[in-house]
Amino acid sequence: MKKQNIDWSNIGFGYMPIGERFVSYYKDGKWDNGIMTTDSTVTISECAGVLQYAQTCFEGMKAYTTCDNKIVVFRPELNAQRMEDSCNRLEMPVFPKEKFVEAICKVVKANADYVPPYGTGATLYLRPYMYGSGPVIGVKPSSEYEFRIFATPVGPYFKGGAKPITIKVSDFDRAAPHGTGHIKAGLNYAMSLHAIVTAHNEGFDENMYLDAATRTNVEETGGANFLFITKDNKVITPKSNSILPSITRRSLMYVAEHYLGLEVEEREVAFEEVKDFAECGLCGTAAVISPVGKINDHGNEIYFPSGMDEMGPITRKLYETLTGIQMGKIEAPEGWITEIE
């Protein structure tokens, strides 16, 4: 396979329209078979459900070139399941899970020349998404939908090493107790924009959101789950019904327990406890883990012993083990890796 002539190590995390994408239409109560197209634009009704009432959800995942030169995707069934959960909560039709995985493979295969080579740190980002495309003026679910998957190459998340970031405890809430925080809905991101722009203007990299009801427990950031390491090397992640169930976080917890032999706990984490942890990281598909060096709570600073220069030692082990599994250097648990034929 001849690769595109791109400076892979120096592309950022941005959108670049490439080759082919998958499109399937839902009409009269059923999905069509779907097609691959080179058209990177969308034409829909001015009154589409997505445009008027934000009826849309999405997924995010990556295709990698492994050390033995195979192209693989990581646990796509979990993205398919999570999209099903999002669709159910948003009264959207489910795109069948097997077809979701098939379409992912099709998109990767059609754009194989854009899957960055092994060793560049770059990957092919995949964006499955669905939206109400039929007109709605009264508030109700759309009668027509589009499910699409596009791909875009993205550069290494950390250029020149993963520098710990500084986050602030947000005054805004991300998700209500019985709201939509647990699904990957576009609306969760629309309302997070003001909070993240505010944080950036104040010089912070990210927001830490607390639970909306009591403002005492840690939830997550706008797009990544928290992992904490205790001083006796236990791996802890917050449990809450309004956290988005990160596939990276679930995979890291498994790796911690079964590959590194660490004790793991998913439980409520009081913000009060955070000052006693040894390491803190944010997990999601984009970065796998971003180390957090410092948390600012209204002027009160919490520094983690791992410091502002590099990842803490346990965070690093977790990062290296999971990326090793994704890159084919470490044997993966059964079913985690789907090879693109």
Ligand X SMILES: *Cc1c(COP(=O)(O)O)cnc(C)c1O
Residues that bind ligand X (CB under 6 A): 60, 184, 220, 223-225, 244, 246-249, 283-285
Q: Minimum CB separation from ligand X for residue 60, in Å?
A: 5
Closest CA to 218 of 236, 235, 238: 238
- Encode 316-331: b = buried (16+ Cβ within 10 Å), e = exposed: bbbbbbbebbbbbeee
Question: Least distance from C-beta 185 to ligand X, angstroms?
Answer: 9
Contact 142, 55 (CB under 8 A): yes
Q: How far is the CB of 196 from ligand X (least distance, A)?
A: 12
Residue from 62, 168, 184, 317 carrying the catalytic annotation: 184
| Number of CB atoms found within 10 A of residue 87's CB | 19
Is 234 an annotated catalytic residue? no
Instruction: Tell me the residue type at 241.
Output: N
Q: How far is the CB of 8 from ligand X (least distance, A)?
A: 21
- Whether 43 and 92 have beta carbons less than 8 Å apart is answered as no
Nearer to ligand X, 6 or 287 (CB): 287
- Bridge-partner residues for 288, per DSSP? 284
Closer to ligand X by CB, 103 or 244: give it: 244
> Which residues make beta-bridge pairs with 64?
72
Give least dist CB 61 to ligand X, A.
7
Sign of CA dihedral 301, 302, 307, 312: negative
Residue closer to ligand X by CB (options 224, 256) is 224
Of the pair 24, 285, the CB lying nearest ligand X is at 285
* Of the candidates 318, 316, 311, the residue with the CA atom closest to the CA atom of residue 259: 318
Alpha carbons 288 and 316: distance in angstroms, whole number: 11
Phi-psi region of 153 (alpha: psi -120 to 50; beta: other; left: phi over 0): beta
Between 240 and 306, whose beta carbon lies closer to ligand X? 240
List active site positions: 184
